[in-house]
Structures are given as structure tokens and as C-alpha cells.
Amino acid sequence: MTKGIEAVETKYFTMAHEFRLESGRTIVPVTLAYETYGLLNDKKDNAVLVMHAFTGDAHAAGSHKGDKGKGWWDFMIGPGRALDTDRYFVICINVLGGCKGSTGPASVNPKTGKPYGLDFPVVTLGDMVNAQVKLIDHLGIDKVYAVLGGSMGGMLALQWAALHPERVKCVIPIAATLKHSPQQIAFNEVGRQAIMADPAWNGGDYYGKAIPEHGLAVARMLGHITYMSNESMEKKFSRRVKGDTGGFQFSPDFEVEGYLQYRGQNFVKRFDANSYLYITKAMDFFDLSGEKLFEKGDLGQTKFLVIAFKSDWLYPSSQSQNMVRQLKMHHVDATYCEINASYGHDSFLIETEGSRQVHLIKHFLANWK
């Protein structure tokens, strides 16, 4: 593997004016956390926008100073890698409503001097995209070369194409959908109910107090099951029992239970419960089915690469196939690839599972540039 990105740092962009949401409500100030890798060329036509998934952040590649951990898509981004930083100016922005440096429900509401909580307005995937457009404008970029991402990141890539068809050339939705099915909504709703059932959630007003860690951990545990495949869980855990629990009191007896608890408890330290609610609702309301993807423009100049994973049962490949069908019906240039990875929905985040993904994206982007 080639050498990756060197030390990076997260930057912040604060909008000069109030930001108007699709609902008509406004937020001020709006700050977006973002990172960039590589250099914007003189023609400013080599920008590649990487969209993170639900609980992701702007730190897609490289390491922060003093931190050995790599960004979440490091194997994809760097000199000679699929998102080749010798050619492309790669940008990753934390979504509006998030909790990784961008304005969200944990941010201070200037009207009260306290965190918004549930006073934060409802945001949509369209709002997240429109906020990113402000940053792209600020960077002087008229048209991005490509926008891509997995899961919610793929839905955001579609939303970019739908709202700003003239401003994007290549779109790569990975393990995504044009809209959530009732099952996808239902899984999200159970996560939300778990958070809201925690008394510490307190109607969203918990900042500076005990956080709803139990509810949030349960939500994350459930999420984890849906991100893996039955097969990958089988490989990873089988039915191995954790040591001798001697006299069982509903402690985690199986390794898979201990792993889920660990992941749940870890998540609580790094994610805000209200952001969980706002972002999952935004995903559930996202709907570009029917003609909605084509309302602002015919996408005739846009190239799509749609990627699905065979073992992904949360965003099944039938949803990607349906997306391609819609694109083809509208005479849009769309390529479909179903990758035979076994890890489930999270395959796009895993280098070993995603080697075909890397290859496909690299060549797709090189073809059009």
C-alpha cells in the first residue's frame, strides 16, 4: 500500500449570514468542521467531496497531531490511492446537526446562551447538503468533480445530485438507497425510543448533567448488529463463551454480547444522543424516489457509479438496483456493481472487504477526469 496522508488538522468554517433551512427556519451561526487532503488546482475542478456515514466525522484520512489513529477512510484517500491526493482535492465535512465540530443540538443557542437541545430546528439531508454548498462556495469551487460516500454518505451524495445537478460531475452512492424502507425506519425508531426511554435524556436537556448513556448504548448495540452480516458475526464470534461467568446474572456470557456492550459504551463517549435523534430522523424523511431525484435537472451530464454489497441486509442491493433502474429510465449514465463482500453494511468501511470497491472507484474517477 502507498504511503498515506501526513498529519492533518480539522478546520472550521463559520457562515457569514444566517442559514435558511428547507423548513423555512433559520440557524445562526452555522459552523462546519471539515478536513481537506491534496490541493485545489488552478481551474478549481478537482474537488472530491467525501460524505461520511451517520456517526462519522470530517476526519476521513491521515492522523491528527499526537494521535496515531487514522481517519475512517484512510485506505481510500492519499497519494496514489483511489481518491488520489496527487490529483484530487479531497474534502470531508461533518454534517449539520452532527456533534463532531459542526453546529448541532449540542451547540450553544445564541438566544439562550445554553445548548440547543430540542430547540435545535429539524434538519434534512437537503439542509446538510445546502450547508456544504456554502463552504464549497467559500472555497471558490463552482463544480465538484465527484461526490461519494457510503450509507447516509451515499444518500447525501444523491441529495447533492438532486439539489445541485449542475455542480457535480460524478456521483458514487455506496450501500445507499433512494429512501428508507419501513424496516430501516423501524430500526432507527427503536434506537430513538431507547434513547428517549432513558430518564437521563430528559427531553433532550441533559448537557452539563448525566447523559443518557444507557439508552444511547442500547441504540448503538442494535445499530452494530444491523451493520454486520450474520456471516461476519459467525466468523467473528461463533458461540464462544467469555471465560467462566460462574453463576449467571444476565451478564454477557457470549463474546458477541461483551463486544456489543463494549462498542455501545465506547460510542457513548464520542456521540451526542440528540444528534442521534436528529440525524436518524433526517435519514428516515429522506426520499428521492419517483421523480424527486430529477426535479432540479435532468442529470444528463452526471455520471453515476452505484455500489452495493451482497451481504448488506440493512441496505439490501435491491435498493441500489432500484436506484440504477430510476437513473436508466431517465437516460442517466449509471454503472452498477454488487460486491461479493461478506461483512454486511459496514463493508465499505473495511479495507479488506472493500478492495474491489477501491479499485472500482479509482478507475471510475480516472476515466472521467
Which lies closer to its own copies via its Cβ, residue 20 or residue 236?
236
Which lies closer to its own copies via its Cβ, residue 29 or residue 252?
252
Phi/psi at 217 (nearest 5 deg)?
Answer: -65, -40
Applying CB under 8 A, the residues found at the interface with its own copies are: 118, 122, 179-183, 185-187, 189-190, 192-194, 196-199, 214-215, 217-218, 221-222, 224-225, 228, 230, 233-234, 236-239, 248-250, 252-257, 260-261, 264, 277, 281, 284-285, 287, 313, 316
State the DSSP H helix or E strand holding residue 149, giving kind and residue range, or none if neither.
Answer: strand 144-150
Phi/psi at 33 (nearest 5 deg)?
Answer: -85, 135
Which lies closer to its own copies via its Cβ, residue 41 or residue 318?
318
What's the closest the beta carbon of residue 339 comes to its own copies, in angstroms? 21
What's the closest the beta carbon of residue 126 comes to its own copies, in angstroms? 15
42 is catalytic: no
**Alpha carbon of 246 to those of 249, 261, 348: distances in Å?**
9, 19, 39
Closest by Cα among 205, 231, 233 to 221? 233
Phi/psi at 205 (nearest 5 deg)?
Answer: -105, 80
| C-alpha–C-alpha distance, residues 188 and 186, integer Å | 5
What's the closest the beta carbon of residue 204 comes to its own copies, in angstroms? 8
| C-alpha–C-alpha distance, residues 131 and 334, integer Å | 27
64 is catalytic: no
Q: What is the bridge-based pairing of β-strands 19-20 and 47-51?
A: unpaired
Phi/psi at 169 (nearest 5 deg)?
Answer: -95, -45
298 is catalytic: no
Q: Which of 272, 345, 346, 347 is catalytic?
A: 345
What's the closest the beta carbon of residue 16 comes to its own copies, in angstroms? 29
Which lies closer to its own copies via its Cβ, residue 84 or residue 284?
284
At 212, list the grid cell: 443518557
Amino acid at 72: W
What's the closest the beta carbon of residue 294 comes to its own copies, in angstroms? 19
What's the closest the beta carbon of residue 215 comes to its own copies, in angstroms? 6
Closest by Cα among 51, 156, 64, 96 to 278? 96
Which lies closer to its own copies via its Cβ, residue 235 or residue 359?
235
SS3 state at 296: coil
Can you state the angle between helices 255-270 and 230-237, rounded to 10 degrees? 110
For the chain, the C-alpha Rg in angstroms (whole number) is: 20
Task: Give the DSSP letter string of 230-281.
Answer: HHHHHHHHTT-B-S---S-SS---BHHHHHHHHHHHHHHHH--HHHHHHHHH
Q: Which of 151, 232, 275, 317 is catalytic?
A: 151
What's the closest the beta carbon of residue 312 comes to its own copies, in angstroms? 12
What are the residues facing 339 on neighbouring strands?
Answer: 309
Cβ contact 324:336 at 8 Å: yes
Active site residues: 151, 312, 345
